[in-house]
Structure 1
């Protein structure tokens, strides 16, 4: 496996020297994770994108790779491209190893099965036909109840708990956010700035803009996800304008687009 770096620059001028970086993994017929582990450690990466669908055709090797990632404690979130129909065992192994998003190209019959397993384990999904054309429902969304079921099914998985916290926030169940969010942070959710960003969103929704600003400042250390800078600028503009009684609505993490 070969790893390349890809960076996404923040949208706001004063922060443009601190890009968000993630690794792009190219499959060279080697299943050795040494290079991936080295680059993750040296660069402090927390997100990877496995770009080659051919890598995921041998389900047994992928399951072994996922187990190896867990043994090595490669605590990163990652995405994958697939063009073969997945199975229960494959997707469970991938999700437990940190896979958060799958981009699948499948024929209509296979797409139904692939979507079933993706929903069972709570993946962020993009699904298209073999020629790249979109199905009517190219992306899927989850109800709060579905996120609760997934978090129970994968109780020890930080990203499942984080997804549940986000679902509660989006549903307006603000008092329920902290329990799964606290679990996600305890379980070492890799993108800690997104946890702080969610806390800032929660503070802003409860009309504590100064607390939200402090959380966003804390989230801004290092090379965080671009949504942190977007929210900092949004909050600064709101405060500079004198605020208003409606408060300011900050942005949640934008569908993991930074590491797709």
Structure 2
């Protein structure tokens, strides 16, 4: 029988209350919202948590999708289901609906949050790949104010983030660009499973060529991967299968997958090549079709 170790529990009533509890308890405390990753780790004794702070009552404060000129703001307690069902979000960042359709199952999507997904920092986490390719920023608050951490600096390694003791992630900000779109692809062994490989692409066009492009990958190394060399290759290029093929080959060369129960390293590199082509092709097609 899997039983977690003993822990104390409190239920926060506001962001300030939660931060105050975190400051008093230090590294012994963990926040919980959906809990679909943390609770199993506690039951397996992979996470030693002495003090659990439930922040579900903060959804009215931190659960929102705000599409504004030049930026999308997502509250850290926005549920996966809310990201999936937001037509306003899908209109400007269709990648979220792509990803949320294949994340876990309805039970997880009804309770799990974007903040929990990013703070778990699992190398196979799909929304980490999405937010990395979108060049997102994470707003982290503490008792004296807040700071903004680029997504490229938010994950410091497997299950480790830039959020320190006495701090919590409160918002994710994503810049919007004209003539841009995005797409997500995932290969999994069964519906709702962790990715064998997933890829997320964001492309911006100008005068018929690719002005900028970023591709994020999950499950191909010790953390979510964005490969600068692939972006450099794509900038200034004319969209087409030949360019996508070169980008996929370069991405496979630069990633570091390992052989495990989900597949061999060579198989995962093959998926990196293929999913790179697919996400780039779909992103560019969406721009041509007038879909952001």
TM-score under structure 2 length normalisation: 0.27
Task: Answer 1 or 2: which has greater strand percent.
Answer: 2
Structure with the larger helix share: 1
